[in-house]
Structure 1
Amino acid sequence: MNREQSESSLTVLPGPVVVQCRPYVIPPKPKFIDLPLGNTERVIVSEEEAETLNSILSKFDANSIVGYPNSSELQQLLAERLEVLPDRVLVTAGADEALERALESVLGPGRELIVTSPTFEMIPIYARLAGGNVRQIPWLDGAYPVDGVLEAVGADTAVIAVVTPNNPTGAVVSLVDIQRIALAVPHILILVDMAYSEFADVNLTGDLLNHPNVVMTRSLSKAWGMPGLRVGYAVGDAQVISWMRRAGGPYTISGLSLSIAEERIRQGEESIGVYVQRVRAERSKLTTLISELGGRPLPSQANFVLARFENARWVRDGLAGLGIGSRSFSDNEELKHTLRISCPGDQSAFARLEHAFKAVLNPEAILFDLDGVLADVSASYRMSIIETAKSFGVSITVDDISAIKARGNANNDWQVTQRLLLDHGLALSLAEVIGRFESLYQGTETEPGLRATETLLVERPWLELLGRRYSLAVVTGRPRRDAERFLHDNGIRDLFAALVCMEDAELKPSPMPVRLALRHLGVTRAWMLGDTPDDLVAARAAGVVPVGVAPPGEVLESAKNTLIEAGAACVLEKTEQLMEKLK
């Protein structure tokens, strides 16, 4: 049973530091995004690695979760790999806890953290929660501002945080710069976050172990692909590690996570190396591709690329329309024109990402649904549905039609009519429905049908202008006779190099008619304008950017919401607004 709670019932006040801190928020993933590359964890595990992980999981039973966890075996294993004594290693609940403990160990009221900006946003949050002050030095691209960092050091500075490769930029800090800082301020803790170090050109760990005021944090979430376990670690001077042990609870990682991580490290070294090499190759290709398409990628040695775009929001939305997630930073002044895209480390997924970028930023063709996009059918097809139902004694409204269209699989208006009648308790054969529908729509020799009310929603000169830049096609669920007649009667048939109709392929939401149009045009990259979820689903499945158009005669906001929920990259109020997006 859910109980409603009044906001005014709570009289307890939060601490002032909590009030000042913004929560770390992961943007929600729309249901139509199936390749989420906006975050930085692995999203695809190879069959071989899946077998390894399943084999590891099969070894555990109820005894694995009975009793308090003990991290000593994993601590010993990590120490051996790092060639240090175990007392220099602390196993933590992800690298996040290692960062938090390190900052808790040395910060407090009157003490200060120096960190660059932008960077991993939890570092300043942890520092403030520890009671410390935060001073941020700008570093978006170019060389690490080592002089600026050292000049910022004051009497209150207790810790300097260095993230390399940096998140969200992917930039790296050289060994020389970190050593220079460590030697210049031996009384200050140098906290080096190396969550993405496996993807970097140089591993700094061995050299930095020689500096007593340097603590490094590492993660098994990124290259190792186990973010769900929440396992990371810190390595540094034994005394600093002992402080960090005191700065948190003794049992922060589950026993099952510890055991799985240990087995994974013993078995997974080779597969991790293969994955890292794939990511590095993809990162190079993605950087080149974005440059060729007019973006400005920043040099990266992480598993992602951050790039500036003239219209970053559209690139984000266009990729999302094709089912690919990316990370935007619209609320960050430094990053509001950028996107971060992670490399999937998978050949098929990366090919899809390449195609999506090309389709969004360099389309070869524009495909149009006919009804509601080129033709106003609010008084023809939709009225034919209403009048057909009425002739059988059933009252159907425009809202009823919009609702059934929104549910999908509604590209055939004869079948839509039949389904609506059935919803009202009247079961008729499709032949009966078609006969009545067509008599109303087509008309007779003495009485014009409802098709006579159809009007063109765009001007021929607009289509001509569009056709000078792109190949044009129509993909419709109409019978060919009706589609050809409308296009000819309105003087625009010659502008379309391809016309795919009901008789040519399975109806939308199947991608088949969209793919057929691409083949007829001889192109692979396109946008498609449609006014129903079926249009958008078909386009996305065919690798075509889905652009929604609010159909005439419907409530605008309701129509927009329906199309956005179906995965439209954007929704146009009128078809001719397309030109603004293409700019």
Structure 2
Amino acid sequence: MSAYRVASALAPTDLKLAGNEGIGPDPALLQELVAEGTEVLRCYPSNTALQRAIARWLELDPEQVLLTAGGDEGLDRICRWALRQGGHAILPWPGFEMTRRYLDLTTAEVERVAWTEHRLPIEAMLAAVRPETRLVVVTSPNNPTGGTATAEDLQRLREAAPQAVLLVDLAYAEFAKADLTAAALSLPRTIVVRTFSKAWGLAGCRVGYLLGQPEDIAALAAVGGPYPVAGPSLALAQKRLAEGQATMRAAVAATRLRRDQLFAQLQVLGWKPRPSEANFVCCEPPDPLEARDRLAGMGIAVRAWPDQQGLQSLLRIGCPTDDAGQQRLLRALRIVAQPEALLFDMDGVLADVSQSYRRCVIETARSYGVQVDTETIQAAKERGGLNNDWVLTQALLAEQGIERSLEEVTQRFEEIYQGSPEAPGLRRTESLIGGAETRARLQRLAARFPLAIVTGRPRADALRFLREEQIADAFRCVVALEDAPNKPQPDPLLRARDELGVERAWMIGDTVDDITAARAAGCLPIGFRAPAEALLRAGAACVLNCLSEVEARLT
């Protein structure tokens, strides 16, 4: 067994929707921790106060409550306790990955029952019960699908397997239409798992709790450490429970509304969302891994399971915790799934400039007595901020102690690039990458989407290349050096989008600056041909090698 790891995209993200964290508490809660003083750090913690507070809230005896290090530790305790002598366990699947991992660490035979619809597969679970069944797992709402069980389901399972422990994981209960806690606790040999991580917004504190009959809770206390939750976490959770119930309920109501909006958006996109009663929506896009990476390109982290059996077709999207995040998510979904336009960088994407611009950098530097190679140029491009080759050349000279004005460097560069009647310039070495095939592909794309060029070239050079390569008619607009601040600023992409009259666009570029500009402009950044890792770490959704791959992703 390998360690738990979330498979994530390389692109950096700042809107974290992969972990289902809830809306956080008021920052003033941290001041309460300061008021506790250093004794909360110095002393071993006591669970008693929070245990009693939870019992009062749920109208239980304190001996029916056991605090754990998040719901995860509670699941671990239950699996080890119920299956300490092996036996047989029933696990609806897909389900929570950590439950599956804890079960696999026991000697029990684990039987997975397919959970494909919203409702718990109760008939299949009942059919799976054997005399040696020692544990039956029910997660409601289910993670990662959002499906649910009913009180009747629990009753039927309890009657069918009276010898087994019934594990009822209610980590997302606050978001559901019905809270099954009371129904579960009315049944013998039934343990409920709850948490402060989701609706209460304290995932970082790692505070969970188990509920059950006193004799079962006492047995579970014996199979773990005496201090499962740190003192600061206990203090924060107790204060949150005492003063935060109204804000928690308001946060749950807001989350339910955002969940419904998200579900509706996914339906429009054809991503096959599943009904959910949690704080996330699970869906089945055409390619979940690609969908995850595209959203990462927009700075949004969601969850896919490329290596998990039974989960490869799923994508789980957590609900944002505020309205700004919600609008950003809904807009990003439309951009990644339904682009209205395509924006192309020119050099390195359409124009082969390996023997023109790159060579001009080398020759201009050589004219000042500085040796530069293509690897040095590529490394500088990958650092970002040097999209303009005149500026790049000046910077490479400065690194070697040669300080020259940009005007002087530009003039010498242009003499080499443009040439003269006596000495043809290096610009004449340029050609259309892919030749006739690219020309035809651009025409097909132009028939479906408005296309634009967004380049750091002077306008005259850009238009000349388009004319000479017979692709000018494929592009409705050209945004060049003179038209806006250069990439990595978003301005040229925003201008292109405005000129095309669209809101949703993909940007195809081969430099870090292209990717940075695309993300800042709210366009999907598609890397092209350059060393993939640098572009992915800069924020590209993917890195493609030819225009046919772009076209394939638009089908």
Q: TM-score, normalised by structure 2?
A: 0.96
Q: Distance in 2 between matches of 1:131 and 1:461?
A: 61
The separation in 1 between residues aligned to 2:108 and 2:160, in whole angstroms, is: 22
Letter paired with 2:236: I
Higher relative contact order (CA 8 A, sep 6+): 2
CA contact (8 A) 1:276 1:345 kept: no
- Equivalences for 1:363-402 in 2 at 5 Å? 363-402=339-378
Question: 1:402-421 maps to which residues of 2 (within 5 A)?
Answer: 402-421=378-397
Instruction: Tell me the residue number matched to 1:17.
Output: none
**1:41 aligns with one of 10, 15, 21:** 21
Which of 518, 521, 540 is residue 497 of structure 2 equivalent to?
518
Maintained 8 Å contact 1:479/1:503:
yes
- Distance in structure 2 (CA, Å) of the matches to 1:350 and 1:480: 39
- State the match for 2:35 in structure 1: 59
Query: How many Å apart are 1:130 and its aligned residue?
Result: 4.0
Runs of 4+ in 1 over 4 A off after TM superposition: none
Query: Of 440, 451, 463, which aligns to 1:472?
Result: 451
Which secondary structure does the structure 1 equivalent of 2:35 belong to?
coil
Aligned residue type for 1:306? C
* Corresponding residue for residue 148 of structure 1: 124
After the TM superposition, which of the residue ranges 65-74 and 24-33 deviates more from structure 2?
A: 24-33
Matched, 1:322 2:298: yes
Among residues 529, 532, 541, which one is paired with 1:569 in the alignment?
541
Q: Which runs of no fewer than 5 residues in structure 1 stay unpaired?
A: 1-20, 552-558
Helix, strand or coil at the partner of 1:242? helix
Q: 1:32 to 1:22 in 2, by over 3 A?
A: closer
Secondary structure of 2:27's aligned partner:
helix
| 1:107 and 2:72 are equivalent in the alignment | no
**Structure 2 partner of 1:236:** 212
Paired residues of 2:139 and 2:170 also in contact (CA < 8 A): yes
> Shift in Å at residue 142 of structure 1?
4.0
Cα displacement (A) at 1:134: 1.5
Long gaps (5+) in structure 2? none
Cα offset, 1:89, TM superposition: 0.7
489, 493, 504: which one aligns with 2:483: 504
The alignment yields a C-alpha RMSD, in angstroms, of 1.6
State the secondary structure of the residue aligned to 1:426.
Answer: coil
Partner of 2:358, secondary structure, is helix
Look up the equivalent residue of 2:285 and give its one-letter code. Answer: F
Contact 1:139 1:145 in 2 (8 A): yes
Distance in 2, Cα, partners of 1:499 & 1:546:
18
- State the distance in 1 between where 2:543 and 2:324 align: 29
1:279 aligns with 2:251: no
C-alpha separation between the residues in 2 aligned to 1:30 and 1:547? 13
Q: Secondary structure at the match of 1:296?
A: coil
Identity %: 42
Deviations 1:56-107 (A, max 9, x none): 2332321111221101000000000100111111111111111222222221
Aligned partner (choices 109, 118, 134) of residue 133 of structure 1: 109
Q: Is the 8 A contact 2:529 2:543 kept in 1?
A: yes
Q: Pick which of 126-135 and 268-277 moved more.
A: 126-135
Matching residue of 1:10 = none
Quote the offset at 1:565 in angstroms.
2.2
The alignment status of 1:222 with 2:198, answered yes or no, reads yes
Q: Corresponding residue for 2:175?
A: 199
CA-CA distance at 1:404 after TM superposition: 0.1
Q: Is the 8 A contact 1:141 1:169 kept in 2?
A: no
**C-alpha displacement at 1:333, in angstroms?**
3.6
Distance in 1 (alpha carbons) for counterparts of 2:471 and 2:86: 73
Preserved contact between residue 288 and residue 314 of structure 2 (Cα < 8 Å): yes
Partner of 2:334: 358
1:122 and 2:101 matched: no
One-letter amino acid matched to 1:195: A
Preserved contact between residue 112 and residue 135 of structure 1 (Cα < 8 Å): yes
Q: Residue 110 of structure 1 contacts residue 156 of structure 1 at CA under 8 Å; is this kept in 2? A: no
